[in-house]
Structure 1
Amino acid sequence: MNVSVPSTVSIDSGLTRESAPRPVAQAERIQTIDIVRGFALLGILMMNIPYFGLSFTAIHRFYTVPSDTLDFRTLTVVSVLFEGTMRALFSMLFSAGMLLFMAKKDTPVDGYGMPDYYYRRLFWLILFGVFNAYILLWPGDILYTYGVCGLFLFPFRKIRPQTYLLIALFCVTVSGVKSFFGAMENKEKRDGYTQALQLEKQKKPLTDEQKKAKEAWLTWEKNFKYDKKKEEEANKTMRGNYRTIFASYIPLNTKFESTRFYLDFVWDAWALMFLGMALFKWGFFSNQLSTRTYFLTLLAGYGFGLTFGWFGFQYLVAWFTDPGKVLDADSFPFQLFYHIRRAASAIGHASLLLLIYRSGVVNWLMKALANVGQLAFTNYLMQSIICTLFFYGYGLGYFGKLSYYELYYVVGAVWLFQLIFSAIWLHYFRFGPFEWLWRSLTYWKRQPMLVQQ
């Protein structure tokens, strides 16, 4: 299958400049990027759906149900194959899109140049993220994180792919070190608890410090144990009205967009963004590499990613069953390789898609995924709108009423709707409704919407 990319893109020399800042025209789109983005967009709902429809304690419960149940089998497949990988692909493609945007020639129009439009674009993305979290009531929003992290990408737009890779490894290292010290703190809590138990068995009195150590562990361990009362309280809240749910999510949204962002999310996003920039400049996402290379990246990505995904899942099952036993066993810390294994699996997914695209076997499916990817911004926010209306109390109120595997019937229905919607919408319009709004706000000018305009 003959493959070409737009003439405006030059992978080896960075990116060729366009005449002036403006939205990407249909003829200039890189179809393979839209295909992978569409796949990631649909796939990310698989990871988000449990948090749309179940409380945190209910999700933890499914790690400890019998292994022959549909719930556990579904959890196993989704966790091993897809956990973290869709967000990884989204992050990589976001930074690739930023490189494409930064390739626009810096020719001032009405006093504004490419950097102005770049930062304005991200400013509006941050506000869209706040809208998704606080108005649509989806605390799992990623737009805010991408918007803030994207602000720091601009100075790195012209460096070599190898440097991007080194920066990505640095971010992974920082995240790994933070996780390691967190694990050590948990280990210290556990050790303090076991020492207190030993003293109690010996009928020796505990000091105030030892009593606090024992209580600290029990309080911490309780967070990972299923609590039916806590689940019922969460279900009641989430089946309430908009005001009730809004109030209950304020602390969580505030935490996610402040302390959790600066402690965790920023390193997660940057690691995958810089990796995505390296892969894009190497021509990976634009289908520039050889078939042999994609086949090897498929084998390597799945070989490492799925293997560590399996062991990581078993670690979580043991953890939610008895975290103390896991810490006492000093088992291999598979979770420290979380970012590397999900990046590897994500590259495996993308390689498989690109190989299928090259084969020409299911062109209709590739076109359908490209449509979804072209409307990724609209489809992402649409998932929040559909799922909150389906699960929350101000909609149909199905929160907590479906088992784990039944949630994926909802996923399938949303997928079917978005595949059909995207194809029909693009037949008449150039952009999705939210893409159109975002571009109009970025350029501070109403963009043409109809295909014939």
Structure 2
Amino acid sequence: MLHDPIHEKRSSPTNPSDRIESIDVLRGVALLGVLVINVVTVFRISIFEQFLPPGRSTSPLDRVVETVLMLAVEMKAFALFSLLFGIGLAIQFEHLSTNPRRALLLVRRLIVLLMFGLIHLCLIWNGDILTEYALAGLIVLPFLFGPRWLLACGAATFLGLYLAMQVWSPPGLFPSFASIQHNVQEANRIYATGDFGQVLAFRLREIPLIAPLHIFIFPRTLGLFLFGALAWRSGALRKPNRTFLFSSGASCIALGAVLILLKAAGAVTNASFDALANPVDTILMALGYGAIIIAITNSASGKMLLGWAAPLGRMAFTNYLAQSVIFGWIFYGYGLGLFGHLGAGKALAIGLAVYVAQVAFSAWWLSRYRFGPVEWLWRTLMYGTPQPMSLARVTRPI
């Protein structure tokens, strides 16, 4: 049998030299947004506290931090990560184009992700997003075998369903006010003082309350996965037009800002507008952030400005899980027990310190190894063969 280097290359993981740096940079920056929202609104206090009337006295600094994060970052970072996951799935689909086992490998990739997600959800932190992404990926995968119009129609359908759910959500989907209030009281007690077993038991009891939040945004996740795949398939990210990306990104952000201002000022007294303003603003600003960061990174000066985020983006899976372990130890009773004791400003400072440490660690690690440790394990389980790890080894890709 003749050696086919092209087939061999497309049957193995993407080599570091073949990666698109701007996408890795965008993923690294998006991870910062995810981190600051998680540390300020989920690890520091109960995720359900946002649904209750304000009960904590906050300093002016904390109010500024919370307001800025709510308006500029909250949900936008998660929407951007959904776009990036769709892009990554489309890249993998294309990378394996000559492999007769492409469908099997991609299904296995998502099943392994689901396994990681369930472990993370149950044993480490119930704010996990990996489980939702794995399930959404399995639904989106068949669309990748179709033409671009199918991706566009799927994205429009799921995003339309998501927006419709803002106006009318299924009755009984969300827990009652009393159950949320009781859960917050229990969280303040157990997360702050409980040992690992007590925290674990409470975390599992919380999952049925958290599940409706995932159900509510699941159509958005599907729509953004498909939109990201469409963006890749269209070629807009292979040879980016910086002028187009800047102008479209700025337009999306400006329109999103207008929606925020109109709602804040009460300029439009319409219930449907109030219900749709935030979800539409989230999608627009996520698209805007992504377009502008891609445009910036596709220039020499932009690479110097943001290139530090690329190693972090290449190791996003490892860093995301590591953040859960670190923040769990900082905030829960089996560690430092700071849950409920810090304002938003101090929690943000802790989060930024962890992020900076991860930037340095990612650069150090990838100067020696081809993949992050969790990324290596994910690829190894996907392909069913240990992947070459060390950069020092000169070996043929497998």
Q: TM-score, normalised by structure 2?
A: 0.87
Instruction: Assess if the C-alpha contact under 8 Å between 2:44 and 2:331 holds in 1.
Output: yes
Q: Say if 1:105 and 1:358 are closer, same or farther in 2 by CA, change over 3 A.
A: closer
Instruction: Assess if the C-alpha contact under 8 Å between 1:161 and 1:279 holds in 2.
Output: no
- The equivalent position to 1:135 in structure 2, one of 108, 113, 123, is 123
1:235 matched residue in structure 2? 188
* CA distance in 2: counterparts of 1:64 and 1:308, whole angstroms: 28
- The equivalent position to 2:206 in structure 1, one of 252, 274, 279, is 252
Say whether residues 1:152 and 2:139 are aligned partners: yes
1:169 matched residue in structure 2? 156
Say whether residues 1:280 and 2:232 are aligned partners: yes
Q: Secondary structure at the match of 2:283?
A: helix
2:316 matched residue in structure 1? 376
* CA distance in 1: counterparts of 2:35 and 2:137, whole angstroms: 23
Residue 181 of structure 1, CA deviation: 2.0
Residue 20 of structure 1, CA deviation: 4.0
- The AA in structure 2 aligned to 1:401 is H
Residue 376 of structure 1, CA deviation: 0.7
Say whether residues 1:32 and 2:22 are aligned partners: yes
- The equivalent position to 1:266 in structure 2, one of 212, 218, 223, is 218
- The AA in structure 2 aligned to 1:25 is N
* CA distance in 2: counterparts of 1:58 and 1:105, whole angstroms: 47
1:212 matched residue in structure 2? none
Percent of matched pairs sharing the same residue: 27
Instruction: Assess if the C-alpha contact under 8 Å between 1:63 and 1:72 holds in 2.
Output: no
Q: Which runs of 5+ in 2 are unaligned?
A: 394-398
Aligned residues: 383
Residue 172 of structure 1, CA deviation: 1.9
Say whether residues 1:105 and 2:97 are aligned partners: yes
Q: Say if 1:99 and 1:400 are closer, same or farther in 2 by CA, change over 3 A.
A: same
* CA distance in 1: counterparts of 2:342 and 2:20, whole angstroms: 39
* CA distance in 1: counterparts of 2:324 and 2:197, whole angstroms: 17
1:303-333 CA deviation, whole Å, 9 max, x = no partner?
A: 1222324555778xxxxxxxxxxxxx86553
Say whether residues 1:114 and 2:68 are aligned partners: no
1:110-167 CA deviation, whole Å, 9 max, x = no partner?
A: xxx111111111101001001111111x122111011111112222114444442332
**CA RMSD for the aligned pairs?**
3.0
- The equivalent position to 2:248 in structure 1, one of 272, 293, 297, is 297
2:396 matched residue in structure 1? none
Q: Secondary structure at the match of 2:231?
A: helix
1:199 matched residue in structure 2? none
Instruction: Assess if the C-alpha contact under 8 Å between 1:89 and 1:346 holds in 2.
Output: yes
| Higher Rg | 1
Q: Secondary structure at the match of 1:370?
A: helix
Residue 67 of structure 1, CA deviation: 9.6
1:80 matched residue in structure 2? 71
Instruction: Assess if the C-alpha contact under 8 Å between 1:84 and 1:342 holds in 2.
Output: yes
Residue 355 of structure 1, CA deviation: 3.0
Q: TM-score, normalised by structure 1?
A: 0.77
Q: Say if 1:176 and 1:352 are closer, same or farther in 2 by CA, change over 3 A.
A: closer
2:169 matched residue in structure 1? 182
* CA distance in 2: counterparts of 1:132 and 1:447, whole angstroms: 23
Instruction: Assess if the C-alpha contact under 8 Å between 2:260 and 2:277 holds in 1.
Output: no
Q: Which runs of 5+ in 1 are unaligned?
A: 1-7, 9-15, 187-218, 316-328
Q: Secondary structure at the match of 1:22?
A: coil
Instruction: Assess if the C-alpha contact under 8 Å between 2:22 and 2:298 holds in 1.
Output: no
1:59-96 CA deviation, whole Å, 9 max, x = no partner?
A: 45796889981122111111111121111111111111
Q: Say if 1:285 and 1:38 are closer, same or farther in 2 by CA, change over 3 A.
A: farther
1:219-238 CA deviation, whole Å, 9 max, x = no partner?
A: 956678xx6x9755422200
Within 5 A, what are the aligned runs for 1:89-104?
89-103=80-94, 104=96
1:192-239 CA deviation, whole Å, 9 max, x = no partner?
A: xxxxxxxxxxxxxxxxxxxxxxxxxxx956678xx6x97554222002
Q: Say if 1:266 and 1:61 are closer, same or farther in 2 by CA, change over 3 A.
A: closer
Q: Secondary structure at the match of 2:126?
A: coil
Instruction: Assess if the C-alpha contact under 8 Å between 1:165 and 1:278 holds in 2.
Output: yes
